[in-house]
Amino acid sequence: MGKIKISPSILSANFSKLGDEVLSLEKAGADYIHIDVMDGHFVPNITIGPEVIKKIRPLTEKIFDVHLMISPVDKYIKDFAKAGADIITFHPEATKDVDNTISLIKKENKKVGISLKPNSKIDLVEDHLEKIDLILIMSVEPGFGGQKFMPEVLDKVKKIKKIITEKKLNVDIEIDGGINFDNSKTVKEAGVNILVSGSTIFKENNGDLKKNIELLRTN
């Protein structure tokens, strides 16, 4: 899959100066900006919506990797597309018709991601692989930053990697939750090529974003 990409999650940023944080991430070498959208219904936590994304959009040309943890998801796709999302990732459990949600995202000319929670089976995504750009494997229960990595999801990563390779598909495998300097190598070996990280990037080494992004990339 080529180069490893790092997608820092702004969930761990200081929201009182979100714009500056995004600029700092860009300067520190982030490939994408991971934006966690939570509705207090699909997941227990509530974060931000399209209005905030719209406000930070003019600050950077970095790819906005928008992870929607909202249900139902369809009626908000257009809003997130218009706000400036580049990749729109949803959970299959948050829609009645996965194919329809994929079409709605494609209609906006955005890249499509499907996310699997730790207990969600590959079957939920298998029939759709040809139509999507990215699979986001959750390595914690979605809802909060700073949780512990669940190594049992590595099997799922390996299985998906195998299917993608066999079918010669151009689908990225992204991992999200509890990524740190101890497990970054293992997840890459399993087949991941995009690493999301909030706590590690913002908190390790006294918040040295550049160092932490580089360590996750090369470790």
35 CB-near residues (< 8 Å, 6+ apart): 9, 10, 48, 53, 64, 65, 66, 67, 85
- SS3 call for 179: coil
What is the closest distance, in whole angstroms, from the C-beta atom of residue 9 to ligand DX5 in the complex?
4
Would you call 39 a catalytic residue per the annotation? no
Residues 72-131 that bind ligand DX5 (CB under 6 A): none
Would you call 36 a catalytic residue per the annotation? yes
Closer residue to ligand DX5, CB minimum distance, 13 or 98: 13
Q: How many residues bind ligand DX5 (CB under 6 A)?
A: 21
Residues 158-187 that bind Zn ion (CB under 5 A): 176
Single-letter code of the amino acid located at 146: G
Q: Which of 36, 65, 133, 172 is catalytic?
A: 36
Residues 171-200 that bind ligand DX5 (CB under 6 A): 176-179, 196-200
**Which one of Zn ion, ligand DX5, none is in contact with 145 (Cβ closer than 5 to 8 A by kind)?**
ligand DX5
**Which one of Zn ion, ligand DX5, none is in contact with 11 (Cβ closer than 5 to 8 A by kind)?**
ligand DX5
What is the closest distance, in whole angstroms, from the C-beta atom of residue 17 to ligand DX5 in the complex?
18
What is the closest distance, in whole angstroms, from the C-beta atom of residue 176 to Zn ion in the complex?
4
How many H helices and E strands in the chain?
9, 8
Alpha carbons 152 and 149: distance in angstroms, whole number: 9
Any bridge partners for residue 34, and if so which? 9, 65
Edge-to-edge strands of the sheet including 134-138? 5-8, 194-197, 172-176, 134-138, 111-116, 87-90, 63-69, 32-38
Binding residues for ligand DX5 (CB under 6 A): 9, 11-12, 34, 36, 67, 140, 142-143, 145-147, 176-179, 196-200
Active-site residue set: 36, 176
